[in-house]
């Protein structure tokens, strides 16, 4: 009788141990699985617009990279950038009443990308006009003018943005330049964030000036919550900047491959449209 009782206790002990071990292992693997897919979870949907371009042009390992914060020179104008879901729909206070929430995050991410990029050995810098309202898009102090000259001299200029929330926004992705073949940095970024067609909305001002646009994601939902939450803000900015810098490194270190595949929308426009 005692032997049977001991066997029963052993079986119950083993069952309890197995249940706790199983629960712990599930929590552990789910947690790590979430981390692996963190970028997709945080930024939400990527652009699903038809864009089949592939960047295969090699880039020099020391290529100069310029990071621009979208809308840094157009506050108070038509192109101030999105206020985000939290402000427009949920009635929360803006991060800084003097600028749009998009610019607030663009500037934070710009700084983090450049800081991390330099640590990783990239030839990278940023530009901020400092003046938040410049009426003339061709003023030499604007993002577009500085970025255009930078690209003209062989540099890689990219403007950081967060897309509009709701139905107006498309999602994350890279908009490549008009007049040059997409390169391997473009491809590496597109593989992480998605890709837009070159002629998105008829052709935006930055790509017409050979400046890439990276839409990080819609400024809504989990992405915006993680940015606004003091407990997750720095980790989120650091994580996003690391993904972007790693894409730069991947593109620079990728070996030559096949010729780019261009879709019907990928058209190299004449310089007259600059």
Output the domain CATH number for residue 111: 3.40.630.40
Share of the chain above pLDDT 90, in %: 64
The model carries a pTM of: 0.80
Do 137 and 17 have their domain in common? no
Q: DSSP 3-state assignment of 217?
A: strand
**DSSP code for 256:** P
Do 239 and 162 have their domain in common? yes
Do 18 and 135 have their domain in common? no
Do 6 and 44 have their domain in common? no
CA proximity to 269, closest of 192, 207, 215:
207
Do 27 and 93 have their domain in common? no
Token match 């800081």: residue? 115
68: exposed, middle or buried (C-beta count within 10 Å: 0-12, 13-18, 19+)? Answer: buried
Structure tokens at 185: 């940095």
Do 134 and 191 have their domain in common? yes
21 or 227, higher pLDDT: 227
Do 23 and 84 have their domain in common? no
Rounded Cα gap, residues 221 and 105, in angstroms: 15
Identify the pLDDT of residue 149: 97
Lowest mean pLDDT among 4-13, 103-112, 152-161, 239-248: 4-13
Do 82 and 160 have their domain in common? yes
With a cut of 70, say whether residue 22 has pLDDT above it: no
pLDDT digits over 39-96, tens only?
888 998 889 888 889 999 999 999 999 999 999 998 977 778 899 999 999 999 999 9
Range of the domain at 190: 40-273
Please list, in sequence order, all residues whose beta carbon lies within 8 angstroms of the beta carbon of residue 199, skipping any fewer than 6 positions away.
265, 267
Do 18 and 68 have their domain in common? no
Do 180 and 94 have their domain in common? yes
Do 149 and 266 have their domain in common? yes
Task: Label residue 259 by pLDDT band (50, 70, 90).
Answer: very low
Do 106 and 189 have their domain in common? yes
Identify the pLDDT of residue 200: 84
Q: Taking residues 218-238, report their average pLDDT.
A: 96
pLDDT digits over 109-154, tens only?
999 999 999 999 999 999 999 999 998 889 999 999 999 999 999 9
Q: Please calculate the CA angle 146-147-150 and round it to the nearest 5 degrees.
A: 90
Say how many domains are in the chain: 2
């Amino acid at each position: 009788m005692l032997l049977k009782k001991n066997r029963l206790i052993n079986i119950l002990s083993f069952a309890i141990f197995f249940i706790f071990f199983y629960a712990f292992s599930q929590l552990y693997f789910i947690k790590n699985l979430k981390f692996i897919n963190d970028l997709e979870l945080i930024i939400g949907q990527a652009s699903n617009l038809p864009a089949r371009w592939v960047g295969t042009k090699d880039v020099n390992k020391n290529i100069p990279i310029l990071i621009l914060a979208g809308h840094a020179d157009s506050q108070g104008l038509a192109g101030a950038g999105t206020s985000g879901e939290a402000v427009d729909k949920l009635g929360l206070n803006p991060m800084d009443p003097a600028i749009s929430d998009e610019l607030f995050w663009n500037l934070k991410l710009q700084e983090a990308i450049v800081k991390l990029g330099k640590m990783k050995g990239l030839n990278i810098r940023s530009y901020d006009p400092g003046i938040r309202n410049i009426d003339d898009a061709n003023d030499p102090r604007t993002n577009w003018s500085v970025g255009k000259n930078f690209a003209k001299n062989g540099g890689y200029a990219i403007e950081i943005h967060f897309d509009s929330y709701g139905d107006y926004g498309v999602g994350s992705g890279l908009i490549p330049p008009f007049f040059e073949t997409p390169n391997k940095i473009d491809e590496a970024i597109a593989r992480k964030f998605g890709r837009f067609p070159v002629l998105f909305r008829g052709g935006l001002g930055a790509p017409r000036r050979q400046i890439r646009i990276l839409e990080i994601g819609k400024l809504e939902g989990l992405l915006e919550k993680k940015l606004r939450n003091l407990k997750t803000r720095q980790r989120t900015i650091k994580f996003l900047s690391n993904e972007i810098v790693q894409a730069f490194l991947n593109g620079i270190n990728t070996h030559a491959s096949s010729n780019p595949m261009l879709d019907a929308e990928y058209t190299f426009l004449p310089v007259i449209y600059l």
